[in-house]
Amino acid sequence: MNWSNLISALIGAGFGTTALGVLFKIYLDHRLSIDRELAAENRLFRQKQREASTAIAEILSAWVHTAYKGTTSTNEDRWITQSTYWKNILLLDKELIDLLFPTLANKPGSAGSNELIVQARKVLLNLREPDIKASELNNWPPEKP
């Protein structure tokens, strides 16, 4: 075997291996980048779900507060409910807002708070059908004096 052929073969093999190694590294970096982006999108989606859940819970909590106090609504109570509503409604998608509006407006036949929770859960978790019933939720109504 000729030395020049051996050296050429080694250089060729080294270059081929190096080229494959570089291509493999580029592929791995690309896959890892895609995986990181998907994980970031998933975290953002979960964070938005948590914020929307909290917003709905705060709005409903402020809305039923006077019933739990056993008194009629004062202007202070109305102001607290209104400010809670304004602060939280900005976090909600239109579909969730449409669920809340009839109940908060006291429209006849509107859903109760448990049904709102069931429907909001359906929207937030992208369920085809609710996985729980309003009657299955716990309630602690105010005690009568």
pLDDT digits (tens, 9 = 90+) for 10-68: 555 565 566 666 677 787 788 888 999 999 999 999 999 999 999 999 999 888 887 77
What is the pTM for the complete model shown?
Answer: 0.69
pLDDT of residue 54: 92
Domain boundaries, the chain: 3-136
pLDDT bracket for residue 143 (50, 70, 90): confident
Computed over every residue of the chain, the mean pLDDT equals 83
Does 5 or 137 have the greater pLDDT score? 137
CA distances from 20 to 10, 27, 31, 57 (A): 15, 10, 16, 55
CA angle 16, 21, 24 (to 5 degrees): 125
Question: Residue 6 is encoded by which pair of tokens?
Answer: 């051996």
pLDDT of residue 41: 95
pLDDT above 70 (res 5) = no
